[in-house]
Structure 1
Amino acid sequence: MKHVSVIGCGNMGGAFVRGLAKAGGYRVTAIDLDPDALEGVADAADETTTDSAAARDADVVVLAVKPSVAAAVLDDLDLRADQTLITLAAGVPREFVAAQTDANVVRIMPNLAAETRDMAAAATQEGITDEVRAILDDLGEFVVVDESKMDTATAVNGSGPAFAFYLIEAMKDAGVDAGLDAEQAETLAAQTFKGAAETVLQDERSVDELIDAVCSPKGTTIEGMDVLWDSDADEAVRAAVKAAERRSRELAEEFENE
């Protein structure tokens, strides 16, 4: 059974802990200085502790702390060369982390769907191992990219869930305005996004071809799509991704200047 220690059990770290527990085959140690954070994952972790030294016993260590405290946490870690350190800290370059540990380092950008094992993640080519690939496979889908693309991945799949939540809420509100109750509208909107995403992943047709497949001539969908095509909705989404990417680059530059 693979032993994984997760340092930092907030939103993203907690999602990792719960996702690994659901996957099975892992012994998970949750490490955090905040007792409330540990309590939040106690039902999923095999062990909880405030002592970061416990990470030395793991095969794989997941660094899931805020970028601003990453350096301080790394200073306290004493990992072995035969361990792997997966860093999730947004904007923190792999080279910065690798310089402070003997462990093999791979940088990934996951998202909160790790908890339900529907995660989308990007991983750096450098440092990735079969062991890491297996973990990412157990938590969802992943792609391997050059680290120069990680700021873009941070914006697309890391920040992307919030953008999707925003659109789901807009569809839900439209349903409520038209007479559905809030719970009905949320179920229909959320499940529609989930089903559409699965179709994109599993169908060989392009997204444009899938849109055409749903749009019958003179039907309801084409009427709605005409509104979207005539709007700036796509430009707004692109702008949101660009803004998140820009912030990721700014965070990286802060570490490069240290």
Structure 2
Amino acid sequence: MIDVSVIGCGNMGSALITGLSRAGGYRITAYDVDPEALEAISAHCDRTTTDLGDVRDSELVVLAVKPDIVPIVLEDLDLRAEQTLVTIAAGVSRARVAAETGATVVRIMPNLAAETQTMAAAVSWDDPDETVRQMLSDLGEYVEIDEDRMHVATALNGSGPAFVFYLIRAMQERAVAEGLDPADARTLAAQTFKGAAETVLRSDRDLDALIDAVCSPGGTTIEGMEVLFDSDVDDVVGDALSAARRRSEELAGDDTE
């Protein structure tokens, strides 16, 4: 049983708590200054608290607050060298956090799919931490990256779900406009993205080969693909990612990555 405390029960903190609860094997303490936030997540916790002192004995402490709140929490958070502090704050370097705590600091960029244990995450550390490895594996898939690539990961897998939701909505809405029932269109659009993503993860073929596999000469798919090929959609999607990456860099300010 792994003792884990999550500081901050907003969208991302709640997603982590819910995913860990569903995975099993975790004794979870949730901390927030908002009793309503704690009430909303209480079914997935062993304990909820508004007292920061209650998280100080956990083996693993996850700092899931907004970047501007990090210094305020760290000022009152007294951890020991044998503990691990995991920070998910965009633009806040490990060095900046480590300067305020005695614990080992690991930085991750998760996403909301932690709730369904299908998360994509990036992790940066000095030395691999087996407890953090276990947590990330229980919540989905993860990659290890150098910390100076965290801005890109923040844009790709951190912000990326919103970009995907946007595309799912666009496909759903057009299908409805073409006559499909809204609920049916939502299911088919979402499951299509899910199935395509699973195919990418399980296949050895590159993305061009997978596109070709769906496109029969003279068929429906190639007709639609020609519209995409003739558009600037690649640039638009890329620009959205770059904008998110730049914002992560702005949040970091003079902080060293």
Q: Shorter chain as normaliser: what TM range? A: over 0.9
State the match for 1:207 in structure 2.
207
State the match for 2:172 in structure 1.
172
In the alignment, does 2:15 pair up with 1:10?
no
Structure 1 CA distance for aligned equivalents of residues 247 and 254 of structure 2: 11
In the alignment, does 2:182 pair up with 1:182?
yes
Q: TM-score, normalised by structure 1?
A: 0.98
CA deviation vs aligned residue, 1:161-196 (integer Å, no higher than 9, x gap): 000000000000111001011111000000000000
State the match for 1:226 in structure 2.
226
Task: Give 3-state SS (helix, strand or coil) of 1:188's partner.
Answer: helix
State the match for 2:82 in structure 1.
82
In the alignment, does 2:169 pair up with 1:162?
no
Structure 1 CA distance for aligned equivalents of residues 84 and 223 of structure 2: 52
Per-residue deviation at 1:147? Answer: 0.3
Task: State the Cα RMSD in Å.
Answer: 0.8
State the match for 2:144 in structure 1.
144
Matches within 5 A, 1:62-73: 62-73=62-73
CA deviation vs aligned residue, 1:127-149 (integer Å, no higher than 9, x gap): 53111111000000000000000
Contact 1:55 1:79 in 2 (8 A): no
Per-residue deviation at 1:75? Answer: 0.5
Structure 2 CA distance for aligned equivalents of residues 125 and 87 of structure 1: 11
The one-letter amino acid paired with 1:114 is: A
Structure 2 CA distance for aligned equivalents of residues 81 and 24 of structure 1: 26
Structure 2 CA distance for aligned equivalents of residues 52 and 186 of structure 1: 41
The one-letter amino acid paired with 2:122 is: A
State the match for 1:57 in structure 2.
57
Which one scores higher on RCO, CA 8 angstroms, separation ≥ 6? 2
Structure 1 CA distance for aligned equivalents of residues 46 and 154 of structure 2: 30
Per-residue deviation at 1:100? Answer: 0.4
Distance 1:57 1:3, change over 3 A: same
Provide structure 2 residue ranges, at least 5 long, that are not aligned to the other structure. none
Provide structure 1 residue ranges, at least 5 long, that are not aligned to the other structure. none
The percentage of counterpart residues that share the same residue type is: 62
Structure 1 CA distance for aligned equivalents of residues 84 and 63 of structure 2: 11
The one-letter amino acid paired with 1:113 is: A
Contact 2:11 2:112 in 1 (8 A): yes
- Greater alpha carbon shift after TM alignment, 63-72 vs 126-135: 126-135
Task: Give 3-state SS (helix, strand or coil) of 2:216's partner.
Answer: coil
Structure 1 CA distance for aligned equivalents of residues 254 and 109 of structure 2: 18
State the match for 1:40 in structure 2.
40
Structure 1 CA distance for aligned equivalents of residues 39 and 170 of structure 2: 34
Aligned residues: 256
